[in-house]
Chains A and B, each alone.
Chain A
Amino acid sequence: MTVEMVSVTIDGVTVQVPKGSNVIEAAERAGVVVPHYCYHPSLPSPAVCRMCLVEVEKAPKLLPACVTQVTEGQVVHVHSEKAIKARAGVLEFLLINHPLDCPICDQSGECELQDFQFQEGQQKTRFTDFAKRYNPVEDFGHDILYVPNRCILCTRCVRFMGSVAEEPVLEVYERGDRAYIGLDQSQRLDHEWAGNVVDLCPVGSLLSKDFLHKARVWDLDKAASICPGCTQGCNMTIDTRDEVVVRLRPRPNLEVNRHFICDTGRADYRWMNRGDRVEAPLVLDSDRIRATDWDLALDRLAVLAAEAGPVVVLAGGRASCESLGWTMRLVAGRSVVAAMQVPQGEEVPLAAVPNLALRADRAANLHGARLLGYRADWSSAMGEVAAASLVIVLDAELTDADAALVAAAPQVIQLATVTDPRLHDAQLVLPITSMAEEQGVYVNRDLRAQRYLPARSAPGMARPAWWVASQGWALGAEGRSAPATAAEAFAALDAFDGLSYRDLGLTGRVLATATAGVAS
């Protein structure tokens, strides 16, 4: 499909953009940010904030860049005197009723009102001696507070619920400067995807109760990650404050999740902060568990892995491709049955976005696991446990019944983030990192391989499971050398046809030969 391109000049920079683009998108391509509030790339544009007014040559009036389509030869001045003056006027209007309570506002530091005010606004207000509009804070839903005093009525939240979630529970109520965002009397803002209105809100008007007053955003460290909650593989950012994960937010990826994540994924981070982690390798010596160093533990691992007899590998749904692949290689040559644990839930789509839903399969790397030979379903793998001479538990959360079966196996190796007291006779408990502490690759349901990066440091001596497995593998025979980095660990996996971390970038890549190139 060929896309017709038009040539436009924005602040002196000429760019080619697809016909039908709007000026704000074309400006972005030219490296010019047009200040805006109501415009959002994942929402319809109502052109109401009037912040993106720009001067277009031959147009009698300033035009809103968010709804003005580019035309061939168009010349746009974003930073002309006239346009800057108009936007300064809009900013002044937006601020007259804004409380300026930035010191106690969660949005402060990532607030578009602050940003554009510092960039283009006036130093002093002329709105003196009048009281500001006041409305009390409202509780909109299970995680959302509405602070109407800070609201600039950009209506992004209204449009998200109406046009994207297709559950139009929010609307502008009243007229004039009495207007506010109101929730339908009989409704709560508890849609599975409703939390996105907090991210969409350009100011501190819609707040997450979970994040309320938890941290100042300029103190946060951010890591690009992938939501481990289901097979959708939404791109997200893990925000940490001093090594503590404080919130998860969507990271834009137009191919996967646009600008959104579901509330289930958003809320599921407390396990990342668990304090009861395994911090040192534990070995079983004469019925006594003792902590040891990696040298001894890896020697034991190599010995156990090299023995004969059938093996069952039980993996949790958050295990990376690197960990899954190297665990398989560790026991290569033996009869192996491997399965990934896939908790089931209800599928909840985001109505207006094609191919985006909270999926029923609640394991991020189910499809990566399939590529790497984890084929059997969980119950049939459990059925093999009784006959197995070695069971490797890769950070799976076992039911009591499953744990009893595994405990009865002759040899058990746990690669674990937390100890399982029901498996106290395990020969080895090897401390591994959680997905928040390592880098790795998940493959989502569309066979898109996506990287995630570490957000916090690993506790104690914990190492990524691929490192543990590959070190054990290297000790198993002469001449083997273990990968030194995650990138090498990934590149060594046959299932990915020589793809590298660099190829994947931070938005991932759909595997071309994924179905054909499965390594068994």
Chain B
Amino acid sequence: MTRRGLRWALLALVAGCGDAAAPLRADHYEWRLFEPAGGGGTDTLAFAWPSASQPLRIWAQDTLDLPAHTTSAIQMWEAQFLYGEFRGELVTECQGATDVAVDALTFLLSPPMHIYVELRFAEGTPGTDSCLNLTTAHELGHALGIFQHSPDPDDLMYSDPIVTAPSARDRNTAERAYHTPTTIQLSR
């Protein structure tokens, strides 16, 4: 091979080894809870379902089309993660249901986590279906570990959500939640 050929080959090798630049994901909101602790300090409550718990088994009561809304919510949140951090599946049996219990001393979470969706207007009112859909997705966001509301109405995790799917800010926040050390462990 000539020197010129060697130069081109080396150039091709260097050009062929580059990496894409990762996004900064700077645009996010606070998702952790800060609770007063004994002694005047503050406890940071951060939680993400561990990979050993994936896929999460999620049961929905068979009323108000909740199983379909829950399936949609699972798909919405799964699509926010690039590396399989959250995967969920709808199950038909509700086994060993207990209430969520966050122990202030040990920060143990006892699954299953319960989501309550209450219809505050007559069933069949126009918009009920889309309202239930976005509310289920919003509440599932809390169950994933986004404990706080976004201050921005353009986000699904806004306190009174109006958008129907997670925003880029919701995605950034969820990804950060799953790549930040947690302070709550599961009791099982």
- Do A and B make up one complex? no
Binding site for B on A (CB under 8 A): none
Binding site for A on B (CB under 8 A): none
